[in-house]
Amino acid sequence: MIIGVPKEIKNHEYRVGMTPASVRELVGHGHSVFVEHNAGMGIGFTDEDYQAVGASVLATAAEVFAKADMIVKVKEPQAVERAMLRDGQILFTYLHLAPDPEQTAELVTSKAVCIAYETVTDNKGGLPLLAPMSEVAGRMSIQAGARALEKSCAGRGMLLGGVPGVAPAKVVVIGGGMVGANAAQMAVGMGADVTVLDRNVDVLRRINAQFNGAVKAIYSTAEALEQEVLAADLVIGGVLVPGAAAPKLVTRDHIKRMKPGSAIVDVAIDQGGCVETSKPTTHADPTYIVDDVVHYCVANMPGAVPRTSTFALNNATLPFIIRLANKGYKQALLDDKHLLAGLNVYRGHVTNESVAEALNLAYVAPEVALNV
């Protein structure tokens, strides 16, 4: 198979779909890999590094898209990239379609085979291709939140851990999954007073055990959520209903009643955000203020630490890339229900039920679509 790796073009996005080590594996399996000029520059890989493991370097994204049977990326394709997709071409990347009707419509029109990292499942009930970036974003959310609480960012002027004699900041993490647990770990490490809310009791048990009681694990009723959010200095939004738009758990009214100078890091912004006043921001201009609450809503947080993130992502995606390349998409998808769960758009059909429901589009089950 011919695999194409374009350079990422989203704002301050320096990750790359495949490292030279991943390319070497694909070439070892007899595949051809075409990498766009400077695709790996953001993490210190030169064109020569890719050529040394057997890749060919092409000058433009247009050439990569024209040549490849499968495009391997990191972020959702931007409009100019969507225009280059074609019937039957595989697109393997993050998509986050539920809050993005325009992207969904264009992927449908392209008739490409669009497999989203974030809805690939595993047999432990997890999301193995989302997990590594959620680890990164969860850990980063506390760095971002600590900065947002500084006075120069219009924050309350609080140090997360306080100092002896002065109480630490209260950090409330909504969602105790990958993002939430990693955020809690960093916040506890910095000495903050940390509470995690989730509506899954098993998740709360895990948080309780992991932190040996040092993190409060609270069941997320509307009542508990309101109480905690109104008392918080920093709120981290880390909820997810896979494939679906994030539920708006923190309302505009909550924001009005939160402490002036408190901060929210809405990590779930890539699925639309779990805060009513959230809107996507970029690394170039990450925060804005609503009713004296600092909002940080960067949709590609791991892009800021692209070396760590690219390696972590490739560790998870490589086995799937190899299977797609070795078997072709149809056999690879039919052989693995977990990869099949990643199929969001298939040659003109929306094949993820949550995406179809969120956007009010017709849904075709992936196994049905593949067998037509």
Ligand X SMILES: NC(=O)C1=CN([C@@H]2O[C@H](COP(=O)(O)OP(=O)(O)OC[C@H]3O[C@@H](n4cnc5c(N)ncnc54)[C@H](O)[C@@H]3O)[C@@H](O)[C@H]2O)C=CC1
Residue with token string 């990693």: 182
Which listed option, Mg ion, ligand CC(=O)C(=O)O, ligand X, none, makes contact with residue 60 (CB within 5 to 8 Å by class)? none
Whose Cβ is closer to ligand CC(=O)C(=O)O: residue 47's or residue 270's? 270
Query: What's the rounded Cα separation, in Å, for the pair 197 and 39?
Result: 39
Question: Least distance in Å: CB of 232 to ligand X?
Answer: 15
Binding mask 241-270 for ligand CC(=O)C(=O)O (x = CB under 6 A): -----------------------------x
Which listed option, ligand CC(=O)C(=O)O, ligand X, Mg ion, none, makes contact with residue 292 (CB within 5 to 8 Å by class)? Mg ion
Distance of CA 26 to the CA centre of its chain: 25
Residue with token string 């506390």: 142
Q: Is 292 in the site for Mg ion (CB under 5 A)?
A: yes
DSSP string of 179-247?
HHHHHHHHHHHTT-EEEEEES-HHHHHHHHHHTTTSSEEEE--HHHHHHHHHH-SEEEE----TTSPPP
Per-residue burial over 270-301, b = 16 or more CB atoms within 10 Å of its CB, e = otherwise: bbbbbbebbeebebeebbeebeebbbbbbbbb
Tell me how crowded residue 347 is: count the other CB atoms within 10 A of its CB.
17
Selected from 94, 296, 320, 329, the binder of ligand CC(=O)C(=O)O by CB under 6 A is: 94
Catalytic residues: 96, 270
Distance of CA 78 to the CA centre of its chain: 15
Whose Cβ is closer to ligand X: residue 48's or residue 223's? 223
Residue with token string 């709360």: 204
Per the CB < 8 A criterion, the answer to whether 218 and 331 are in contact is no
Q: Is 302 in the site for ligand X (CB under 6 A)?
A: yes
Q: Is 265 in the site for ligand X (CB under 6 A)?
A: no
Whose Cβ is closer to ligand X: residue 115's or residue 299's? 299
Query: What's the rounded Cα separation, in Å, for the pair 175 and 172?
Result: 10
Q: Is 302 in the site for ligand CC(=O)C(=O)O (CB under 6 A)?
A: yes
Piece of the chain touching Mg ion by CB under 5 A; list 35-43, 100-108, 254-262, 354-362: 254-262
Residues making contact with ligand X (CB under 6 A):
118, 127, 130-131, 133-134, 137, 174-180, 197-200, 203, 220, 238-241, 246-247, 249, 267-271, 298-302
Residues making contact with ligand CC(=O)C(=O)O (CB under 6 A):
75, 94, 130, 133, 270, 300, 302
Residues making contact with Mg ion (CB under 5 A):
258, 291-292
